[in-house]
Structure 1
Amino acid sequence: MLQMKGIRKAFGPVQVLHGVNLEVQAGEVHALLGENGAGKSTMMKILCGIIGADDGVIEIDGKARHFAHYDEAIAAGVGIVFQEFSLIPYLTAVENIFLAREKKTRFGLLDRKAMRARAKEVLDKLGVEVSLDKPVAELSVAEQQFVEIAKALSLDARILVLDEPTATLTPSEVEYLFKVMRELRSQGVAIVFISHHLEEIFEICDRITVLRDGEYVGTRRVGDIDTNELVEMMVGRRIESNFPPKPEARPQARVVIDAQTIQLHKAGPFSSFQLRQGEILGFAGLVGSGRTETALSIMGAYPAVRVNVEINGDATTPRNPSEALARGIGLLPESRKEQGLITSFSIMQNVSVNNYGKYRKMGAFLDLAAERKHTVKAINDVRVKAPGPDAPCDTLSGGNQQKVVIARWLNHHTPILIFDEPTRGIDVGAKAEIYQLMRELTEEGYSIIMISSELPEITGLADRVCVFRSGAVVATLEGAAINSEEIMKHATTGKLNYVA
């Protein structure tokens, strides 16, 4: 159904795509893989007419096509669901699905009845139930994802691009999305699926095309390749292990956070745990188990009912993130683009944003030379790959954006770091770099709380693991007890403690 042949694209002097090929059949889920910066998104934007190619041919059903803008791609049956949702939160699902192409009555008024009927028809075809009349801001992330897919399918899309559609979904929601994808595949829709979760590729996809540094590496059937071969195609080398070796247990290490009582909700259970110097303490549990809320309550960023915490022996609990920062706690939040970075700012501005006080001289003036010197050191320490400290953060890959946030806290000298889903949306090569960096930080004396929904990440990297259920820690595991079976046992049946 789709052929892209010899696609080339340059932005200024930088060649992004070097004659890349892609072939997708009708009724196929085709994975498009590669590290961040490999050219996947650029390739899909060219397919959808969002940007133009410098050279190459796009054929749909054997006919050469050139799309000057997105509307022309839509008319040809191409739909895309971007990683960042393009929904207007205060409009309903129906209004979002028909945005900018509303159906009208013969008197020029909105034909809401016809739009609602068509929206329901498309969602019924997907086999999903979504409230059509609620603002999409009130829908779950999974429901918003299905509204995005319905929007594309309402355009009669025969070629559907899904860019990281599972990044914010729970496992049960992912399974439901896969059910929808299988149904679309049976209807003859050609699906291009982009994901960094390799286990998903082997579960849902038929074939795989790999790009590396803007070059076409090859196309393979899923049954003809294993994970190690696939990773080698993506990164150009074999990664024997994602995780650096764990150090020996140090039970006598100094306690930097002693959480004696954290109660998130009135009449709810309470948590207690300790974070030691030089360790990675994993926070594991099902979605909604209270992992992130507990970590944020330590920083005064979540209104817990009770927080009795000692930080480096001081029993005064931070009342807000500013006080937590002053006490040496830095946060790498789950959403780096919305909460961790000002993406339109440069690397240097993001690294310095909490530190301008130390660069001030002569009143309102800044010591720019000192700022640049410290920024260059921080980004070199965490190995940010960028043209220089003045590069805008929105031009960086996901892994390098994460490193910029880490560089900010190193520049601020925060010895306690909370990493919330540190590798979400990051490719396999960048994950290994982040893991290595985290281990190096603990060897230098930093202490890390790592919140993660990926069990292999928890078991492979954490020195000890706090397992959460219903808003509280129900078990703390170490040594051989850190395994997926033990974690899931406690996450589903762990005993809860209540304040007397």
Structure 2
Amino acid sequence: RVEILKVLYRDARILILDEPTAVLTPQESAALFETLKRFVAKGLSIIFISHKLGEILAACQRVAVLRGGKLVAERIVEGVTRAELAELMVGRAVPQPKAEAQVAGETVLSLEHVSARRGQLTLRDVTLRVRGGEVIGIAGVSGNGQSLLADVISGVEQPSTGRIALAGQDLRHINPREVVARGVARIPEDRHAEGLIGDMSITENVVSEGYRGRFSSFGLIDWSKARRFAEEIITAYDVRCTGPEARVRLLSGGNMQKLILGRVMAEKPIIVLANQPTRGLDVGAVAYVHEQLLAARARGAGVLLISEDLDELLAVSDQLVVMYRGQMSPLLPRADVSIQQLGLMMAGQGFHHTEQIDAA
């Protein structure tokens, strides 16, 4: 709202909004759309950029579709469907993976009264159990503890209190390499800064988490074995590239994410920690990521999916929790929760409020 007021104060007649709802609850997003409609009625022109098709249909009158840097279609919003827009965006029909009903197994990851602090970022008395063969979705406005939670589970940060266990084994006081070795597959929030090294090759990147084990002998990396592994991932995950020696920075966001998925899924993990795995991807790549997460679920892995996209969470998750200022709600079965209810919880409904502003 402040940013919009700033440009209106300068008497702007055209507003360009790029992913303006990224840190808003559904209710706040709906209020923003009503505000934009009032601006349009007063003569302003608005360019609304979003990868969320539901927002395009709710906020806009006309839609233009870009693919490969080119304008490929324009449509009047009235009468257009999400499926039609998705097909225009990727150039083909996009089947949406569905979470088939299955019985969850034993607990594979448990957090008991976990608290942590990193500067002003906090977790407060978080308790959670993830069973094999289920997807737990974590909702919340960006900055409410999700990233710190992911770092604590993956060993990047240590909890100040509480216990974390993987298949009954304590995960506290071990480093990220040991966490990965014990069966945690980590899909990081920022694929560029944490997931991959852009100036290194595909081969170097796919062995980066396991070069001291299966890809080394007497302290030396077996590069022929590493290249074969890279070629297997390129083929199995349809990574569009010139070959295993291609620089990772030349890949699209979707192909980077496929590379990370191939690397972590190859180890048949016990738990998949997916932090914003579809951020910045087109609908085709999003469907592929969902397919791989559900395949891990079908194999018996537990999946922890952190996302700000409520449609994604409701499509893929078996149960959901909401995070607000470092606190976590009880588990909510997908069938018993709505986007409206999640939105209210993301705004703090049902949580204990304090005067401290120390959300993660």
Q: Do both share a fold (TM > 0.5)?
A: yes
Unaligned runs of 5+ in 2: 354-360
Task: Check if 1:170 corresponds to 2:24.
Answer: yes
Which residue does 1:457 correspond to in 2? 312
- Aligned-residue identity in percent: 28
SS of match in other structure, 2:243:
coil
Pick aligned residue for 1:422 from 265, 269, 277: 277
**What is the CA–CA distance in structure 2 between the aligned matches of 1:124 and 1:298, rounded to whole Å?**
36
**1:397 corresponds to:** 252
Residues 1:165 and 1:470: Cα distance change in structure 2 (over 3 Å): closer
Q: Which amino acid aligns with 2:201?
A: S
In structure 2, the CA distance between the partners of 1:371 and 1:158, relative to structure 1 (3 Å rule), is: farther
Question: Which of 344-353 and 446-455 deviates more?
Answer: 344-353
Corresponding residue pairs, total = 346
Equivalent AA in structure 2 for residue 258 of structure 1: S
CA distance in 2, matches of 1:165, 1:244: 26
Match of 2:114 among 247, 253, 262: 262
Report the counterpart of residue 493 of structure 1 in structure 2.
349
Q: Cα deviations across residues 269-302 of structure 1 (Å, max 9, x unaligned)?
A: 4121111122211112333332332232222323
Task: Measure how far apart 1:346 and its partner are.
Answer: 2.3
Amino acid at match of 2:216: R
Alpha carbons of 1:419 and 1:477: their partners in 2 closer, same or farther (altered >3 Å)? same
What TM-score does the superposition give when structure 2 sets the normalisation length?
A: 0.80
Contact preservation (8 Å) 1:263, 1:270: yes
Report the residue type matching 2:130 in the other structure.
L
Which residue of the partner structure matches residue 103 of structure 2?
Answer: 249
Query: Which piece of structure 1 moves more, 261-270 or 312-321?
Result: 261-270
Aligned to 2:202: 347
Shift of 1:458: 1.2
Question: Structure 2 vs 1, CA of residues 257 and 373 (structure 1 numbering), >3 Å: closer, same or farther?
Answer: same
3-state DSSP of counterpart to 2:321: strand
Gaps of 5+ in 1: 1-122, 129-148
Cα deviation, 1:86-111, whole Å, max 9, x if unaligned, reads xxxxxxxxxxxxxxxxxxxxxxxxxx
Partner SS, residue 261 of structure 1: strand
Q: How far, CA to CA, are the matches of 1:272 and 1:280 in structure 2?
A: 16
Deviation at 1:461, TM superposition (A): 0.5
Of 299, 308, 317, the residue aligned with 2:163 is 308
Whether contact under 8 Å (1:126, 1:183) holds in the other structure is no
Partner of 1:283 in structure 2? 138
SS in 1 for 2:330: strand
2: CA distance between counterparts of 1:376 and 1:206? Answer: 45
Q: Which residue of 1 aligns with 2:338?
A: 483
3-state DSSP of counterpart to 1:475? coil
For 2:5, the aligned partner's letter is: G
Cα contact 1:359–1:370 (8 A) shared by 2: yes
- Residue from 171, 190, 194 that aligns with 1:335: 190
Q: Superposed, which structure 2 residues align to 1:438-449 within 5 Å?
A: 438-449=293-304
**1:457–1:470 Cα change, 3 Å:** same
Q: Is the 8 A contact 2:15 2:44 kept in 1?
A: no
CA RMSD after TM alignment: 3.7
Partners of 1:124 and 1:278 lie apart in 2 by: 44
C-alpha deviation, 1:267, in angstroms: 11
Report the Cα offset of residue 127 of structure 1: 1.8
